[in-house]
Amino acid sequence: MSDFHEETIIQLVDRHSQAAMLGDSDAAQASLHEARELDPATLEIELAKRAFLSELGTPEEISERRQRVVARLGGVAVAAPDRIEAWRLLAEMLGRLHNYEGVLRATASGLKREPNHVALWVMRSTAQIELQQFDSAARSLRHCVKIAPTNNQVESLVRHHPACRACYSLFPSVEAKECTMCGALGPGAGGKVASVRMRSHSKFDLYFPRVRQVVADALQMPARIVNLMTLDTLLKRHFKRTNQQCALVLRAMSREFGASFDAELFRSAVVGYLDLLIADLIRAIKAEDGVIEETDTGIRVPVKRKPSSA
């Protein structure tokens, strides 16, 4: 962030605005000139943010101004293609203007430079859903789940757009009557659906949010520590705990999952490092072969299919 002098440029733009309000055009221009000398792309990005959010003028004037801001910011992004913030902001603005084709182009350009940028993938998935490109949206959302399984925006998309059990494209909503890709019954008509996570993730991804909550409750962990417990850091030995604390986790997990554990794997769980213990416990959970069901708390669990009466 400091490489682009963002904090200094924000201060200079603030100074510019104050001078302009006081009618001191020389001071206003001097502030802009100083900011441009530091980094012209960062200056343009900051000016674009402010101009786009401005509510001054009639609705028509606001709309025209926002279109101009987007066009100018697009030029900045093209001129400085490695500035991911420019592509992210451009995609966000295009989305607010309901220009979803533009969002796809902006996110594609940004993702060429930073392939696992979560915000760009979320906006891309959302634009594909708005354009009813549900097959493409399913692929994008699966990638979102892979790179950011606990991201709130990703979680919201997964909840609101279940997948078709027949072709695995997304439904437009949980009320959809049928799949737009293959015509299969949708959740709104009582059709069976799947979670994107079911196809994207292993047992670790599926059970981790639930296990993390059990561990947090058992050890009364503060939120800042809980937030550090992610799949990305699970096996990096960041969570050293006493044997007594690990024993509390073992008891809590036993109460939570009970007969769902593979007894032999459960007994072999490593005590000492909490992250390794969590990994062993998840590995010991016997995954059910079934659909994904959401509990009242929003936690997805596998539900074993009932045997056919045929």
Read off the pLDDT of residues 129-143 as tens digits, 9 standing for 90 and up. Answer: 999 999 899 989 988
∠144-146-151 over CA atoms, to 5°? 55
pLDDT at 305: 42
pLDDT value at 91 more than 70: yes
The per-residue pLDDT of the chain, averaged, comes to 82
Listed range (61-70, 244-253, 269-278) with the worst mean pLDDT: 269-278
Residues 136, 179: Cα–Cα separation, whole Å: 14
pLDDT value at 1 more than 70: no
Residues 6+ apart with CB under 8 A from 145: 154, 158, 196, 197, 200, 201, 205
Residue 254 DSSP code: H
Indicate whether this model's pTM tops 0.85.
Answer: no
How would residue 230 be classed by pLDDT, with cut points 50, 70 and 90?
low
pLDDT value at 123 more than 80: yes
